[in-house]
Chain A
Amino acid sequence: MADDAMLKLDGVTKSFGDLDVLRGIDLEVDKGEVVCVLGPSGSGKSTLLRCVNLLEPPDDGDILLEGTNICKGEGKDWELDFVRQRVGMVFQQFNLFPHKSAIENVTVAQQTVLDRSKKESTEKAKALLERVGLADKLGEYPDRLSGGQQQRVAIARALAMDPHVMLFDEVTSALDPELVKEVLDVMRELANEGMTMIVVTHEIGFAREAASRVVFMDEGVIIEQGKPKDVLDNPKQERTKEFLGLVLEH
């Protein structure tokens, strides 16, 4: 086992009833790496992310987070705590808390989980919201924010917990085209600052310039992976070629 592996998946499987969604995933992510996961819908990309933070505990296989196996005790409390203190997640549908303002969305977990004082958590939230370009929206409620703004609040909310790894689950797929860039810009900046990130996305452009590695998945397995220019420009596998053909055509 590589000692500097932030995350290591070993033979991870997951099925829902008869549907085998993940059929043996091996993947290593080093500290500071930005891994973009591509693949057709239904290929298991989102489930992979949900397994990593135990929203869906894997059926089989091991996941090592900073060297600690988090799949031993079937969702024991300490495993959940261990994972969720280290892994932040951003969702396709934002999932902001609609009854809380932007800043409260960013402070609530800091106060309940990390026991940060109101003052400390508010300062942290302000700094983060400023960083994602929302300094003027602190008191706004989610239904008064655009999709892009909501998603940026969601990123700030996850960052407030000081995660070591960030998971992005098709975070721009529910956005109007003109709002995609503002979210990707935030993610690009985060990547430049050295955050370890796993990004499930359909944004080939983002993968090309921001990813340190691209992983292509289909039908619950990793088909191929490598440097963006290798996978995206010279794919070796037929299925990767097909998929990229379809995505890049239009």
Chain B
Amino acid sequence: MDDDSTKFNLLPYSNAQLTILVVLRVAIGWHIFYEGLTKLLNPNWSSVGYLLDSKGIFADFFYFLASDPGILKVVDFLNVWGLLIIGLCLIIGLFEKFASIGGILLLGLYYFSHPPFIGLDFEAPGEGSYLLVNKNLIEVLAIGINLYFPNSRLIGIDRLLYKMRNKK
């Protein structure tokens, strides 16, 4: 049992529990951060193809985002920097709650633009078989775990912020 848990107002995690939570958080952060980095480093990258491939009830919304070069620029910018900032925060354990909520929202958008529902076929090749549940949804849920089992106050920059805030 890590005695830090009580000190930092968190559930009393065992060392094993804390380890798996932090590894999960860092792994999700790596995944999201690297995705953002790849897009940032590719000058020709644009979300237009992905958006136009949207299907399902929200498809019109995603087509709208792709319809105008001005809007598309903003969408691309927000997407890249959203990924980078959320990913970075999860890795280093900074503003964990906001990063988790942001991650859930962003991945939720990906999920709803390409929902694995019956009767919807996508141009983008999938590497597995999915029905209702796909890897985007699993990652959303995994971030949910991170949201409700916070751990950056134990391992992460939030620990230092928390300490500083509660110093006086």
Bound together: no
- A residues with a Cβ closer than 8 A to B are none
